[in-house]
Chains A and B, each alone.
Chain A
Amino acid sequence: MDHLLSVKNLEVAFFTKDGKVSAVNSISYTVDEGDTLGIVGESGCGKSVGAMALLRLLPTPPAKIMGGEVVLQGQDLLKLPQSQMHTIRGSKIAMIFQDPMTSLNPVMTVGKQISEAVRVNLGLGARECRDRTIEVLSNVGIPRAVDRLGDYPHQFSGGMRQRVMIAMAISCRPKLLIADEPTTSLDVTIQAQIVDLVRRLQQDLGMAVIWITHDLGVIARIAKRLNVMYAGKIIEYGPIKSVFAKPQHPYTMGLLGSLPRIDSNSDQELQFIEGAPPDMVRLPKGCSFAPRCKFRSERCLVEEPQLVGVGDDHMAACIRLPEIHAQ
């Protein structure tokens, strides 16, 4: 079966004044047509960097893609020269970002920004671009879209701005939408609206979605499969129901355990994971999570764990799985 997107052993490093940072350490995953993949992890675990690497949006003086394959419909994107990437961006893969206020050009009207995308990717004339712009703006739920074409980003509210960004992203009907923390800076109620909007658009357009967040509540609402990342590696992945119901990796267990639940007693203490994320310049030997893991053993500090299967397409990278889950 052919996947829409197949990422194999992607490695991204940053060369900074303080040394080499291995932001993404050989990750592999696949996305099928119409699929929804969630990527969760703490800040700095490499989830955004990994996503931006797919579209080669990383600034290449400090960043460098060290190796791997990114195959989109049979074509390895990493082998494309930078000057050709514009044929993929916007038209085949689109991306939306966290802060819609800074991600939209403040001195350009919203209508023009969307029309620009349509014109560049689909080569339509001015009138058709305008029509398409109105169409997508209405589609994402902007009322009286025609009147708002000449408005500037600062004249919209936060949630509306993100809708504008989504409109811009889907205007050319991409096969894959990458959403990098699109709801993090929004109100909870608006968050739900945006998530539902993306779900509806996904169904209507047959689009695959990669949704990146650190918010487990949001991901539960939209993702079908989940990658859990830590320190630049995917330490667990699988169908979301399986990962939520039976988390395997101690980190995942810690993440889920730290969520307050509606059905818990009010005097139960919130669990948290001790310690702090590692310094990415000096990663510890062995398992990067070991220093914070309450199940660690001496072997954990030496051996790097590989992904092992624990169920139906559900894998986790930990050498102590049998002992941890011996019940």
Chain B
Amino acid sequence: MINYTIRRFVGFAFTLILLSVFTFALTRLVPGTPWGNKAQIPLSDEQEAIFRARYGMDKPVTTQYLVWLRNAVMFDFGRPFTAPELSVMQLIFKSLPYSALVGGLAAIFSLMFGMLLGAVAAAKQNTWVDAAITSYSVFIGTIPSFVMAFLFVFIFAQKLRWLPAGGWGLDHHLIMPVLAYALPGTGGIARWTRQCLVEAMSSDYVRTAYAKGLRQAAVVSVHVLRNASIPLITSFLPIFPSMMTGSIFIEAVFGLPGLGKYFAQSASNRDYPLVLGITMFWAFLIMTTYFLTDILYGVIDPRVRITDEK
């Protein structure tokens, strides 16, 4: 187990380094300077020189990389153009709780609803229930979350006037964003759940379990669910960070105080530090989750950890 963890960690570290190089390379792609002729406030040559020195852009590339890396490790990604009074990290942390809340709730809902559907489909395999759930799964995934968001606002806010069209509050304001964000994902989750369950149910060891004299309830709980949960858990854990970091479209539509607001603006303002900072931070979060999931996988699936030791 230790061996396995160490090997995974080395891989993780290497990937992080790759990430840093890639992100740094992206920073170098920024054409000209962010304060050139096209900027809102044109600068004189001396002012530009001062800025250049200040941002360390007058040193060789490798030095710049190391400086950038040192900052990145401390999570210092500079200041966003859109809100220069804060640093990128401060901005992220200010808006992260909202994104995390919406994303987290959506992930929970998505998983619970999706797994329920998948389980029902697996239990009622090859009946009309199964077919209906499969059709729903295929269909729901094709609606982009922002389209879903629009639809929700149209139906529930405008026509029915049940819910507010935007704004933030830890109450019914959350219902539409969370649902609109969660629903498209339920399709894929339902299908994968169904698939894992069906695979376990039709396996030889389940046949053996019945042949041993176990009753259906015991076979399902001890053999089917236990075995199916391994691929399920390991593929569903990453959904949390990915949804917590991806709620940007939804926030833009509903005007939530998460990063979405800045995200939409950063597009037109060419806010490179902000976009890069978010990218690096999000990627780091997601990679860490993958790493932890790998470790977890090693814990719950004996095949993985025991072959490593012998």
Do A and B interact directly, with beta carbons closer than 8 Å? yes
Binding site for B on A (CB under 8 A): 55, 57, 59, 61, 83, 86-91, 94-95, 97, 99, 102-108, 116-117, 120-121, 152, 154-155, 165, 168, 172
- Report Cα–Cα, A55/B213, bound state, in Å: 10
The reply to whether the CB of B48 lies closer than 8 angstroms to some CB of chain A is: no
User: Are B212 and A57 in contact (CB-based, < 8 A)?
Assistant: no
Contact between A120 and B204 (Cβ–Cβ < 8 Å)? no
Chain B nearest CB from A304 CB (Å) reads 33
Q: Which one of A90, A102, A155 contacts B212 once the chains associate, using CB atoms below 8 Å?
A: A90
Show 5 residue pairs from A and B whose CB-CB distance is below 8 angstroms, ordered by the A residue: A89-B211, A90-B211, A103-B204, A120-B218, A172-B213
A97 to chain B: which residues have CB within 8 Å?
204, 207-208, 211
CB neighbors of A among B184-234 (8 A): 202-205, 207-216, 218, 222-223, 226-227, 230
B211 in contact with A102 (CB, 8 Å): no
Indicate whether B126 reaches chain A with its CB closer than 8 angstroms. yes
| Residues of chain B at the chain A interface (Cβ within 8 Å) | 125-126, 202-205, 207-216, 218, 222-223, 226-227, 230, 300-303, 306-307, 310
CA distance A121 to B230 in the complex (A): 28
Beta-carbon contact of B214 and A116 below 8 Å: yes
Please name the residue on chain A nearest to B301 by beta carbon. Answer: A107
- Contact check, A104 vs B208: say whether CB atoms are below 8 A apart: yes
Judged by DSSP, the binding face of B is helix
* Inter-subunit contact A94/B211 (CB<8 Å): yes
B203 and A102 contact, CB distance less than 8 A: yes
CA distance A152 to B212 in the complex (A): 18
> Can you name the residue of chain B whose Cβ is closest to the Cβ of A102?
B204
Partner of A121, one of B204, B213, B218, B310: B213
- Specify which chain B residues have a CB less than 8 angstroms from the CB of A61 in the assembled complex: 125-126
| Complex CA distance for A108 and B226, rounded to whole angstroms | 9
**Contact across chains for B212 and A105 when beta carbons are under 8 A apart:** no
Seed contacts A83-B216, A99-B204, A107-B301; 5 additional CB < 8 Å A-B pairs: A97-B207, A102-B204, A120-B215, A154-B306, A168-B208
What B residues does A152 contact at CB under 8 A? 302-303, 306
A104 to B206, CA, bound (A): 8
Contacts of A104 on B, CB cut-off 8 Å? 205, 208
Contact present for B212 and A168 (CB under 8 Å): yes
In whole angstroms, what is the CA distance A106 to B303 when docked? 7
Structural contact, B211 and A95, CB atoms closer than 8 A: yes
Q: Give the Cβ gap from A259 to chain B, nearest Cβ, in Å.
A: 30
* Residue numbers in B under 8 Å from A168 (CB-CB): 208, 212
Given A61-B126, A152-B306, CB of A106 within 8 Å of CB of B211:
no
Closest 4 CB pairs of A and B: A90-B213, A102-B204, A89-B213, A105-B205
Q: Which residues of A contact B218 (CB under 8 A)?
A: 120
A90 to B208, CA, bound (A): 10
| Smallest CB separation, A109 vs chain B (Å) | 8
Q: Is the CB of B227 within 8 A of A107?
A: yes
Contacts A105-B227, A107-B301, A154-B307; A117 near B212 (Cβ below 8 A): yes
Cβ-defined contact, A107 with B302, below 8 A: yes
Say whether A86 contacts B215, CB under 8 Å: yes
Residues from chain B with a CB closer than 8 A to the CB of A116 are 212, 214, 222
Distance, CA A129 to CA B216, complexed state (A): 21
Question: Is B208 touching A87 in the complex (CB atoms < 8 A)?
Answer: no
Contact partners of B203 in chain A: CB under 8 A = 102
Given A152-B303, A154-B303, A155-B306, CB of A103 within 8 Å of CB of B214: no
Closest to B222 in A: A116
What's the least CB distance linking B92 to chain A, in Å?
40
Task: Decide: A120 and B214 in contact? CB cutoff 8 A.
Answer: yes
**Residues of B contacting A94 in the complex (Cβ-Cβ under 8 angstroms):** 211-212
- Shortest distance in angstroms between B136's beta carbon and chain A's nearest beta carbon? 22
